[in-house]
Amino acid sequence: MTIQLHCFGESGNSYKAALTLELSGLAWEPVPVDGFFEGAARTTDFRTRVNEMGEAPVMVDGEIRLSQSGAIQQYVADKSGRLGGRPEDRYEVLRWQFWDNHKLSSQAGACRYLINYLPEEKREHQKQAIAFLQGRLDAAYDILDKRLASRDWIVGNNLTIADLSCCGYLFYSEPFGFSRGDWAHIDDWLGRIESQPGWKHPYDLMPPARPENRKG
């Protein structure tokens, strides 16, 4: 049975789940969340039919339905037997996933939204919030860059869902306070992820919700 992932291309959290699925070798297909930016995921229909939390991504595998990217990644790693790391590294992988969700992705997602997708007339009032978030992001990038200074992967000797969690927002080109050229070790690490067989950019892996991000 083909796994379905309710997702959209602009979502870094969706990308974490989609890229994990793609690199795991499991059969899956994206189910576009059309109209996400217009509130589609917050409708009664979506909350009743897809996810009570009103968020993407949502993975459906037969009778199993999961939201939250970290939970989806762990499910995929368990089912495929890939990307979970060594048994003795399980909690270290989990530690970095939690760190990413709290310190990196949460700040990056909010900052990227405010700069790129908030209606322009409202952005002027968010300058202090953006500056605060970018300060937090710089601290997170520094932690990640130092972690990668003497190792190829965040945990262990191979790519794991710790890497696929922490890279979730870093392949997007829209400005939000990250430049690969500023962080040499992160840049090298992202290059190693890009070189994995099956790697795809978010907008090639999932259908974008915004017309300007669609190719062709």
> How do the domains of the chain map onto residue ranges?
3-83+200-213, 87-194
| pLDDT bracket for residue 16 (50, 70, 90) | very high
Q: What pLDDT is stored for residue 17 in this prediction? A: 98
CATH fold for domain 3-83+200-213: Glutaredoxin (3.40.30)
Total residue count of the chain as it appears in this document: 216
CA distance 5 to 45: 17
CA distance 105 to 17: 13
Ranking 108-112, 124-128, 164-168 by mean pLDDT, the lowest is 124-128
Inform me whether the pLDDT recorded for 40 exceeds 80: no
What is the average pLDDT across 97-121?
A: 94
CA distance 50 to 66: 10
| pLDDT bracket for residue 123 (50, 70, 90) | confident
Inform me whether the pLDDT recorded for 18 exceeds 90: yes
With a pLDDT cut of 70, the percent of the chain lying above it is 96
Residues 146-163 pLDDT 10s: 999 999 999 999 999 999
Assign domain 87-194 to a CATH class: mainly alpha
